[in-house]
A and B are shown apart, each in its own frame.
Chain A
Amino acid sequence: MRFVDIRLFMYDFDGDGVKEPAVQEYSVGGSWDPSHVDVFMRKGGAWSGYSR
C-alpha cells in the first residue's frame, strides 16, 4: 500500500478536553485508492490519566 500524503491531526475523541493524535494517510485520489487512519492514546486510556 503506497500513501502519498500523511498528516497528523489532534482531535478529542474521548471528550475529556485533551486531544489525541490521529494520523491520516491518503493515496492518489479516486475510488479504490486506499486511505487509512490510526488513532493513538496513552496506554491505559486517555491522555488525562497522565501524571504530571
Chain B
Amino acid sequence: MERVFEVTSHEPIWIRDINHDGRFEIGNNYAIGVDMCHAAQPRWTDIYGYENERFRNVNYRFRRRFRSWPHKLRTSLKQYPDDCDVREYLGIAEAIVGHSAAARRELKKTIVGLGKAFRERKHSKDDPYSPASYQRDVRRLKARIRLAITRRVQDPPYDSSTAR
C-alpha cells in the first residue's frame, strides 16, 4: 500500500461524494489574495478526485460550484486592483466556467502585474521578489494560459495540493 495523495490546509479539509457518482472527492478551502487583511480574503476551494489512475485537481468537473467566482473576484479586484493572486484566481475561475478568452486575458494581465511587482520588489529587503520566484510564477501562468481552453488550468505540476 502506498500514499497516493496528501493535502495540508489551514482550514478543515472535507471528504464528500459531492456529485453522488460513487467516487468521493476531497476539498481544500484556503484564503487567496495578498493585498487585503485575512478577514477580507476570498475563500477558494480546490476539489481533488481520483481520475485516470491518480488524484488530480478536478475543479473543472464542478463548474456550477464555480459559477459565482468570476463576479466575486472581480468585486474584490475593484478594491484591490493590483492583487495578482486574486487576478490569477479570476483567470482560473473563468477557465473553469468555460470562458477561456476571459481566462487568458486575466492570466495575461496577471503576468503584467507580476512584472510590475518584480520591478518594484526585486531589491526590496523587507518583501523581496527573487528572479527565480518571478520566473517560476510566469512559467506557471503561461502554462495556465495554454491550459485555459481545456478548463484544467490547475493540472500538475501547477497543482496547488501541497503549495498552500
Contact = CB atoms under 8 A, between A and B. Distances in A.
B1 A43 contact: yes
Contacts, number: 71
B50 A13 contact: yes
B157 interface: no
**What size tier do the contact residues of chain B reach?**
20 to 34
B116 interface: no
B20 to A, nearest CB: 11
Interface stretch (B7-15, B73-81, B142-150): B7-15
B10 A32 contact: yes
Chain B contact surface mostly: strand
A34 B7 CA distance: 10
A42 B1 contact: yes
A31 B3 contact: no
B4 interface: yes
Contacts of B8: 1, 34-36
A36 B153 CA distance: 24
Contact of B13 (A33, A35, A42): A35
Central interface residue in B4, B5, B8, B10, by most chain A CB within 10 Å? B4
Contact of B11 (A11, A31, A37, A45): A31
A21 B15 CA distance: 12
A41 interface: yes
Interface in A8-30: 9, 11-15, 17, 21-22, 24, 26
A39 B25 CA distance: 11
Contact of A12 (B1, B10, B13, B22): B22
Interface string B1-33: 111111111111101000001111010000000
A1 B22 CA distance: 33
Return the 7 tightest CB-CB contacts between A and B, nearest first. A15-B23, A11-B24, A39-B5, A13-B50, A14-B50, A15-B22, A36-B8
